[in-house]
Structure 1
Amino acid sequence: MLSHEEAIEYILRDIDPHFDEETILSSLRPFDGVVKHNLFQKYVEAILSLPPVAGLEGVLVRDLITAIWDISKRVRLIALAPKGMLQRNNLISKEDISALTLWNEAIERCGLAWAYHSDYERICSGYLSYILSGGVIPDCNSCCIVMKNLLEHISNSDLDDLDNYTIDCLKCIAILQCDNKEVSNAVVLFADSKNEEIRYIVSDICGD
């Protein structure tokens, strides 16, 4: 996971025309026919690593929200809009359009949740939905660390609807087939849950 400072820098870099490394936007224009899933995954996980809005200066919050919405808007205009550059010129396949749609929805949901909520569970919900929808995850270990952090937040949270977040998180870990010991230990903490569905999922993950 990125530090708060690294996450802020990563979110803002796509709107910096002088940034030298490849970004989401530079990967789409020009588009070489390959969706850079790693860039989208890191961007979503950067949103999840941002510090709470309440602890940031107003100008920085504005810049971050603007950057996130700008990425979402440009991905739609370049790749997802039927009359956008990639579709208009038949440069992108239907499969890649579907893949980018899932990523863009994850960016929008995570970004919106970060802007309006302080609960890590709600901020992660867009990422959980992406994984459960069959989205591509190139770095499973990084994603599993996010799931571990989410389980730890859930265990210390006072939200009323935690079962849904827990079940979705555990399902994602099962999909990822994560063999990270830290993640496995975090999952085991839920093994004594009284919720039958959660206990069943934990048993399925742990092979017990």
Structure 2
Amino acid sequence: MAEQTKQINTSIDEYLISLANSINHAQRYISQLRVVGQEGQPTVTYQLPRVDFELKLLFQLTATRPETAGLQRDMARSVGGAYLAATPISLETGEVDSATAAAASTIKGSFVAVPIHGGAPPPIVSIAWTRSDKAIDIKVSVRSAIGQNLPNVEVEFNLDRSLAKRVNPALGTETEEANVLAETSLSAVIARTDPRGEATSTLMIGEKALGRKVPVVIDVMGITKTMIFETTGNP
């Protein structure tokens, strides 16, 4: 058997996201290949209905730190001085014997094209907020394209800590920059809209975030909005 030396240079979730991005890129290209129909008939377009994938990996413990360990969030963690290395294998080349093939782990699945929001127009998401002492009340309203309130819709609120580092001026040390949102939190991370189509969460501002910019990411039905709140006061 030929020696397998090429280790996977990304984590599984990053691999799947990269694959999905490639499919999306291919679909955008295919969408531009329109075929003009007969007079009075609509233009014909194409869509990838389904893409199947299969990834075979051979996991091995090694005392040598893999070159890609810095990129492998899930596959190259040190456990007692040993590293878990993942090597992709191919059965079609004939370089892998039956014993190695049997020990390999297989990850397979399918990407299936489905209409966004079930084919309905995307919802209308609006955000309002009110300020109080060291707090900001955030209200998210979700309505259909014709203005109907959408109850029981999941709304997710998150602090974007990496963006907070970029939008705020240097704080002097890396520790201070990393802790700028350490005492800042949200009263609700996941909320559901009420009969009026509204969901709320309160941004509670910590002392270290006073006078800084606090980014909050809001996700609703595949729609993502980033709000950057400027706080007042001195840390």
Larger strand proportion of the pair: 2
Larger helix proportion of the pair: 1
Larger RCO: 1 or 2 (CA < 8 Å, sep 6+): 1
